[in-house]
DNA sequence: TTCAAACTTGTTGTGTACATCATGCCCATC
DNA sequence: GATGGGCATGATGTACACAACAAGTTTGAA
């Protein structure tokens, strides 16, 4: 599955007239963002600029640009003398982001939607296949990989760049929260839930019904938020 | 009016536990963003990192962080060997941003709105007074100052940070477009239009009706877009 | 024994020299 | 006179040394 992880997660296609520096920046950004989202770098962890720079074979300067970008996106927080810390998110901010996401998802079908192509249908079919594999062998990390890939499959259905960028920004602010403090039982339940969700998307996509896709997305986002709130209240 | 410019435009309040570096970054960012929005740095202009660093009394390193941020916000574009260029915006991207902004403005009243305080009412009253002064002595720059301040007065009515940040980001992507290629007649007409717009906001604010404010905002944003399209079609 | 001050260590922030690249000018050549 | 190549110039990109700062550790005296 590791090879598929890459094809599922590496989604920002290189621009034709992108400079070498620009490409490296984007690759580093996506890589570190993945690690944060998959809890390789859990909230509260301190990252070392020097260690990361050495690992990626660059000096601190270009790496710091990446960390600043992730700080602007709300995933990192740098403090002089202390370090660069992976941010946590409190329940209040989480709720605000989810509220916003629920308002944005219907826009997928309203603002410059693409017509659903056979490639799109295949993409959702592959995602559903991954989901089935996942329910046979559930894992928090595997769940997150499919969850992120599903988001990108949906977000890529609009050609409205401001909408797509905003949805991506907000999604990654909350994506890692799911993996925190999930029991094995929770993981199993969430994997099944994701499987049903992706099946719904696949069916709507095969019908070419982007309006249905958008409303399904909103419904599932809302349900996720509710489950998260119930879990938070139970603790 | 110059003194009022400052009170109108400098709106990001300093955080209590903000580091010296963080405050300097925010101040530089707001200052350069203002210059871009007010066409002190018009689209296509090449900025010199070294010259800017010298002007602000810092080295290139902290200044480059500001320029990268503005690049991420779509206001600048750096190319090695050429320079840092103030971006222009094509009609297609402009339309996409406006579509998005029209969908976001109604959310002002739906996502965590504040109750309108006497300070808010006073803020809109002051804005309207500035508008009246502006119609007596119209200028493109004065129009833009009031326009930007009006945006912030509206955006500050929600406590939903993701919403506020997104609206701000999108607003500044299009704010400077108005000033480009406006005849004196256009400026006069737009100043009058802004005056009516702000009067509507003031009246709604004094009634404490944030729902009306949000819908007025959407309506005026839509009208602005329509006027802009008509002007583009006429050229 | 306790507590506080100094020190050590490791981090991010800043300044600066150099590398890399694009552009326009100048001059030799056709 | 036109044109193409080399070169000077100035821009951003990168690397590195050092400053500023916070936290833990040690050491000394009360």
What tens digit of pLDDT does each residue of B55-95 get?
999 999 999 999 999 999 999 999 999 999 999 988 899 99
The answer to whether strand D lies under 7 Å from the CB of residue B17 is: no
What pLDDT does A228 receive?
Answer: 86
DSSP structure class, residue B215? H
Residues 6+ apart with CB under 8 A from A235: A181
What pLDDT does A122 receive?
Answer: 95
Question: Is residue A7 within 8 Å of residue A148, measured between CB atoms?
Answer: no
What pLDDT does A180 receive?
Answer: 82
The answer to whether strand D lies under 7 Å from the CB of residue B60 is: yes
What tens digit of pLDDT does each residue of B139-192 get?
999 999 999 999 999 999 999 999 999 999 999 999 998 888 788 888 999 999
Residue with tokens 């000096």: A59
| Chain A 6..45 CB hits on strand D (< 7 A) | 19-21, 24
Q: How far apart are CA A164 and CA A176, in angstroms?
A: 19
Question: Is residue A170 within 8 Å of residue A96, measured between CB atoms?
Answer: no
What pLDDT does A16 receive?
Answer: 62
Out of A100, A160, A163, the one facing B111 most closely (by C-beta) is: A100
Q: Which phi and psi (to 5°) does residue B77 adopt? A: -145, 120
What tens digit of pLDDT does each residue of A61-118 get?
999 999 999 999 999 999 999 999 999 988 899 999 999 999 999 999 999 889 999 9
Which nucleotides on chain D have any atom < 7 A from a protein Cβ? 10-17, 20-23
What tens digit of pLDDT does each residue of B122-153 get?
999 999 999 999 999 999 999 999 999 999 99
The answer to whether strand C lies under 7 Å from the CB of residue B46 is: no
Q: Does ipTM top 0.95?
A: no
What pLDDT does B1 receive?
Answer: 43
Domains of chain B in sequence order: 2-86 (1.10.10.10), 91-234 (1.20.120.530)
Distance of B19 CA from D26 C1′ (whole Å): 30
Out of B68, B103, B110, the one facing A68 most closely (by C-beta) is: B68
Question: Is residue A179 within 8 Å of residue A139, measured between CB atoms?
Answer: no
Does pLDDT of A53 surpass 90? yes
Top-confidence residue, A106 or B12: A106
| Mean of per-residue pLDDT scores for chain A | 91
- What part of B 34-53 touches A (C-beta under 8 Å)? none
Q: How far apart are CA A199 and CA A204, in angstroms?
A: 9
């Amino acid at each position: 599955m590791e090879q598929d992880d890459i094809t599922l997660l590496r989604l920002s296609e290189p621009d034709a007239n992108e400079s070498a520096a620009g490409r490296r920046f984007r690759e580093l950004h996506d890589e570190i963002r993945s690690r944060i989202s998959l809890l390789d770098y859990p909230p509260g962890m301190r990252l070392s600029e020097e260690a990361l720079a050495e690992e990626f074979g660059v000096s601190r300067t270009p790496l710091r640009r990446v960390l600043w970008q992730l700080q602007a996106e709300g995933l990192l927080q740098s403090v002089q003398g202390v370090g660069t810390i992976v941010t946590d998110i409190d329940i209040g901010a989480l709720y605000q982001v989810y509220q916003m996401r629920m308002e944005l998802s219907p826009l997928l079908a309203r603002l410059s939607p693409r017509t659903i192509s056979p490639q799109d249908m295949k993409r959702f079919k592959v995602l559903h296949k991954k989901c089935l594999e996942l329910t046979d062998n559930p894992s928090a990390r595997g769940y997150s990989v499919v969850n992120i890939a599903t988001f990108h499959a949906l977000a890529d259905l609009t050609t409205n760049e401001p909408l797509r960028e905003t949805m991506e920004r907000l999604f990654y602010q909350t994506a890692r929260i799911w993996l925190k403090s999930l029991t094995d039982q929770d993981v199993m339940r969430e994997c099944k839930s994701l499987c049903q969700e992706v099946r719904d998307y696949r069916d709507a996509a095969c019908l070419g019904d982007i309006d249905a896709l958008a409303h399904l997305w909103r419904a599932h986002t809302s349900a996720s938020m509710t489950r998260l709130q119930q879990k938070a209240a139970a603790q």
